[in-house]
Amino acid sequence: MSSLVVLAAGKGSRMKSDLPKVLHKLMGEPLLEYALETADKLAPERLVVVIGHGREKILEQFSDRKFAGNKEITWAVQEEQLGTGHAAKIGIDALDGVQGSDSVFIVNGDLPFLRAATLQEMLERHDASSSDVTVLACTKSDPHGFGRIIRNEGEFADIVEEKDADEQTANIREVNVGTYLVGVDVFNQNYESTDTDNDQGERYLTDVVVQACRSGSRVETVQVADENETAQVNSQAELATAQRLMKDQLIVDYLEDGVRIDDPSSTYIEKGAVIASGARIHPFCVVRAGVQIGPGCEVGPFAHLRPGTRLEKNAKVGNYVEIKNSRLGPDSKTNHLSYVGDGDVGARVNIGAGTIFANYDGTNKSQVTVGDDAFIGSGSVLVAPVTIGENSMTGAGAVVLKGRNVPDGGVVVGVPAKIHKQDGNGDSGDCQN
């Protein structure tokens, strides 16, 4: 199996953001994560990620990331932005143990839809044809923004960037995707033959490929059938387009897994959410990455489930409810207009309309624990940290202060909440410390 170099050093100036391009999120995941997931599936012998702009932020998120089981990623730094060819050279030089006769994949980190199966096809074609370089190509309905592939009697001859294309060349719809499989010796020999005679003074990876062709190396192409697989992300507009494509793709995956989604067009489910077969998502819901939804659960309409949310079997989250970093136990429900943050809610609990888990005191976030079979009256405010006991009840509008735990079977009312009944008794008093 070949090695893989991911180019992730670019600033991405067209994004108009200080954030490194590969850290912009697509359906809840940074762009770089998609390239790493492709590497996981392809399982190359070695993986190098070339970073530059904002590398500290990239390493902060990914330094512990492994690939293909438990292999270490090699991080190579492009100190100066001297072009894609220069970045590829840094990546190849960082490949420990690679031989000159070996072939290396070079992949841009802004191709989130690129499939491992496509790279595998490139490898098979590369080996079968004894190619020196294999270029991934696609015939696009709209080739804008891509370099055009020039052929001579059907054979690869050149790549012309759009800014350099005349009218005839601009009408060519076969484009260079920005993914290559190249022999190490072939790359190194032709890299030295490229020049920096351009406005940016940079070495371009396409120039290396074209130079290899002109020097007699065998260059083959592999065609991508689905042009959506080649969608790039170089701007906020392209990110929005990719978001729509990925959203539709993920929705189809959930539907095929047996999740009922009433209105896919109004539903936003991020990559990494786990939804069991038999769950139902009503219109206008947002489900973030890291959310877990069990079988028989219902969500929405107009619900927002944030990271760390876990809905257990048959739980119900209704209209205009927001849940964050909380467990909602089996058969529990919060049907209307509530906020549940940093909560641990047991089984068969009813959380009334307008309830607030006041989890943040301005400095720290704390947990609200609600025991099995509790009833939380409408408009209750539960100030964390606090425990609401099993089979207990809060009256409508009750404010349960932090540390004033409600005992099992207790009933509390008022502002601040005081015990109205405890273990069947009608004695009044403060909630428990």
pLDDT at 101: 87
Q: Give the per-residue pLDDT at 11.
A: 81
What kind of fold does domain 236-430 have according to CATH?
A: UDP N-Acetylglucosamine Acyltransferase; domain 1 (2.160.10)
Model pLDDT, residue 313: 98
pLDDT tens for each residue of 307-329: 999 999 999 999 999 999 999 99
pLDDT at 21 over 90: yes
Q: Categorize the per-residue pLDDT at 201 as very low, low, confident or very high, splitting at 50, 70 and 90.
A: low
- The confidence score (pLDDT) of residue 203 equals 82
Is it the case that residue 1 has pLDDT exceeding 70?
A: no
Q: pLDDT at residue 202 above 90?
A: no
* pLDDT above 90: percentage of residues in the chain: 86
Q: Show Cβ contacts of residue 113 under 8 Å, excluding neighbours closer than 6 positions.
A: 34, 228, 229, 230, 231, 242, 245, 246
Model confidence at 196: pLDDT above 90:
no
Asked whether residue 353 carries a pLDDT value surpassing 80, the answer given is yes
Task: Provide the token pair at 412.
Answer: 């509390």
Residue 290 corresponds to which tokens in the numbers above?
Answer: 């890291």
Q: What percent of the chain has pLDDT over 70?
A: 96
**What is the overall mean pLDDT for the chain?**
93
Among 155-164, 243-252, 416-425, top mean pLDDT goes to 243-252
- Side chain identity at 77, as an amino acid letter? V
Report residue 80's pLDDT band, with 50, 70 and 90 as the boundaries: confident
Q: At what angle do helices 31-42 and 116-128 cross, to 10 degrees?
A: 50
In DSSP notation, 266-298 reads G-EE-TT-EE-TT-EE-SS-EE-TT-EE-TT-E
Q: State the CATH architecture for 3-230.
A: Alpha-Beta Complex (3.90)
For residues 158-177, average pLDDT:
92
Mean of pLDDT values over 88-110 = 93
Look at residue 84 and tell me whether its pLDDT is greater than 70: yes
Residue with the two structure tokens 């002109």: 214
pLDDT at position 386 is 98
The SS3 assignment for 376 reads strand
- Please tell me whether residue 311 adopts helix, strand or coil conformation: strand
Q: What are the C-alpha distances in Å from 202 to residues 52, 87, 215?
A: 15, 10, 21
> What's residue 433's pLDDT?
57
> What is the b/e burial string over 228-256, where b = at least 16 CB atoms within 10 angstroms of the residue's CB?
ebbbbbbbeebbeebbebbbeebbeebee
Q: Which residue is catalytic, options 24, 86, 304, 336?
A: 336
For the chain, domain boundaries? 3-230, 236-430
Strand ranges in 74-211 using DSSP code E only, listed in sequence order? 74-77, 103-108, 133-139, 148-152, 155-160, 174-183
**Known catalytic membership, residue 336:** yes
What is the C-alpha to C-alpha distance for residues 339 and 321, in angstroms, rounded to an integer? 6
CA distance 417 to 350: 18
Q: What is residue 100's predicted lDDT score, i.e. its pLDDT? A: 82
What amino acid is encoded at 162 in this protein? Answer: E
Residues 6+ apart with CB under 8 A from 378: 352, 353, 354, 355, 396, 397
Write the pLDDT tens digit of every residue in 129-166: 999 999 999 999 999 889 999 999 999 999 998 888 89
Give the residue from 402, 419, 401, 399 showing the smallest Cα distance to 410. Answer: 419
Confidence tier at 82 by pLDDT (50, 70, 90):
confident
pLDDT at position 164, please? 86
What integer is the mean pLDDT of 375-396? 98
12 has a pLDDT exceeding 90: no
